[in-house]
Amino acid sequence: MNNQYGYMRVAAAVPRVHIADARRNAEEALKIMQDAFAEGVEIVVMPELSLVGYTCGDMVLQKKLLSDAEKSLEWLMEECADIPTVGIVGLPVVYADRLYNCAAVFAQGELWGIVPKCYIPNYGEFSELRWWVSGFGITDRTMRYAGHECCFGSDLMFELHGVQFGIEICEDMWVPVPPSSMQAVQGAKLLFNLSASPESVCKHDYLKSLIAEQSSRTMAAYVYASAGHGESSSDLVFAGNAIIAELGRVLGVSERFVRNSRMVISDIDIEYISTRRTARNTFYYPDAPEMRIVELAVDEICYHGDVRRHIEPLYFVPEDEAARDIHCREVFAIQSAGLAQRLEHTSCKNVVLGISGGLDSTLALLAVCDTFDLLGLDHKGIIGVTMPGFGTTDRTYHNAVKMVEALGCTLREISIRKACEQHFEDIGLDANERGVAYENSQARERTQILMDVANMCGGMVVGTGDMSELALGWATYNGDQMSMYGINSSVPKTLIRFMVDWYASNRAEGVLRDVLLDVVATPVSPELLPACEDGSIAQRTEEVVGPYELHDFFLYCALRRRYSPAKIAMLASIAFEGVYDKKTILRWLKVFFHRFFGQQFKRSAMPDGPKVGVVGLSPRGDLRMPSDAQERAWLAEVEEVEEQLNSLGW
């Protein structure tokens, strides 16, 4: 890897092909190598038989073409003697009087190895057994080719700057157990495929899903380059697919059916691949074949500080609208299924929850309504309690009331003012002293009311707090932190806003739709401090603890990807460029780590709740964390980054 953040830059390239003209194809490959080097690419793969053309037919049996292919590779390597980018090209190779469809790996004038194709298709439009022999069983061999002694065989893997990669050719990926699967369990984090797969209607989408699936199953990056313009169209058409996927996600796809060379480039997160594998104790295969590792002695390509991949600002919210629609439906389904099981188990027919007119309680109410519909229960069994206090505004109060009524639930209004004033008097707290006790006593009073109302009706208190609040400890211990079932406990704040908006747009109408849209537009607040003179919300959560979109980004990177603080800060500066400057990001990153470590005791005592995504904070599930873990090392790294920025004049 050529940078401190654990990325390796790779490319899938589709050069213009000249059938049976090995020298011109080598010249096309040289242009690809030069362009790749200029872009800082460390490894570039080109299509199957790219030095002669996949559609050569019986011409591959001609000694002239076989000799030209070898000489052209030798010329290409000489021309690339000063280029540290590793190239992978396809060509025919004769070994022990047998003809193999091969991939040659070269860099800086050296031929590092030749890998033969294992699975030779002979069905449908393919008749490859007419020419090629399978590379299965070719192990522990060497050969002299293109003026170099090199390793030859299907047992080869390669290592570049500490990162291992494997190679397979076209059909090898389409079989039940691809060679890349065995390469991955032996340590390959990058998998390259040289292909010449012809195009047909709807095949492209299937191909992308297959590549994404293989990258997911192997917990690796999969880099695929397939033949394009220049191949014979006598019976088939080759569109020129270049696709890069990582851990199940497609990072880049080339334009198809174009008449010029093209290249897709992406930075692969090798560090994350390694982390995911380390955390997955089932990532192994007991009978995986032994592989030979060829270590490439190649110069490192300098890292220029850029990251060639899209960094999502909202990891928990799909960027694609169609995918987001499915995501919202799924979360609602998981929430309602989880609560339905709990209600059936406890024989509860009533649910009690506090309705504030804010995002969290709104999502909880909608999910509870879905649960009652699933169980065939009357919404009147849903008791929405609005509990006006010192900070309740007319806007949130009226939204809470309208929402409960529009959904056909039972509304109860129980003010906490008198009870809290009495409590302040009992404990000797000056009501003008607006500290932690002033705020938390209100939260605990509300929780007590909900619990008691539930006892009165034989019901269950459903909590409304979300995962982002739990991560920051933005909840009152034994107050809103507690319930009998935390339905939002693994739903982040950034997703909740989209879910309520989605429900308003897709499932609500009239008054309910208007209320939900206004809830989405309302600033996030616990409303524990008196409102402003104009009646607006005085206590805005994100002004105190920081923007939730940043904290959700930090949470995902820290728990799902296990990135270092420095890497999180770097990625956040890219994802939120033009929104937050680096100093602002570092400020809230320190707040995140300080609160995340310091508030674990609240999460250790959190109630049951359904996990809906890839990140969870349950002490019985995803997060086994001691309450007294130290944050010092994490904060120190953030401060180091801050010092570096200051030294640069930020």
Catalytic residue positions, numbered: 48, 117, 170
Amino acid at 213: E
Report the alpha-carbon angle 443-445-450, nearest 5: 95
Edge-to-edge, what's the strand order for the sheet holding 382-386? Answer: 410-413, 382-386, 351-354, 460-463, 485-486
Hey, is 489 helix, strand or coil?
A: coil
Q: Where do runs of H (alpha helix) occur along 376-466?
A: 394-406, 417-427, 436-457
Q: Are 90 and 143 in contact (CB under 8 A)?
A: no
CA distance 263 to 9: 13
> 481 in the Ramachandran plot: left (φ > 0), alpha (ψ -120 to 50) or beta?
alpha
Q: What are phi and psi of 286, to 5 degrees?
A: -65, -25
Q: Are 586 and 569 in contact (CB under 8 A)?
A: yes
β-pairing, 382-386 with 43-45? unpaired
Q: What are phi and psi of 383, to 5 degrees?
A: -100, 105
Handedness of CA 159, 160, 161, 163 (dihedral sign): negative
Handedness of CA 27, 30, 36, 38 (dihedral sign): negative
CA distance 43 to 85: 6
β-pairing, 7-14 with 262-269? antiparallel
Q: Are 356 and 396 in contact (CB under 8 A)?
A: yes
Place of tokens 């039940």: 176
Q: What is the 3-state secondary structure (H, E, C) of 493-533?
A: HHHHHHHHHHHHHHCCCHHHHHHHHHHHHCCCCCCCCCCCC
CA distance 457 to 312: 46
CA distance 555 to 561: 9
CB contact set of 290 (below 8 Å; sequence gap of 6+) = 155, 186
Hey, is 422 helix, strand or coil?
A: helix
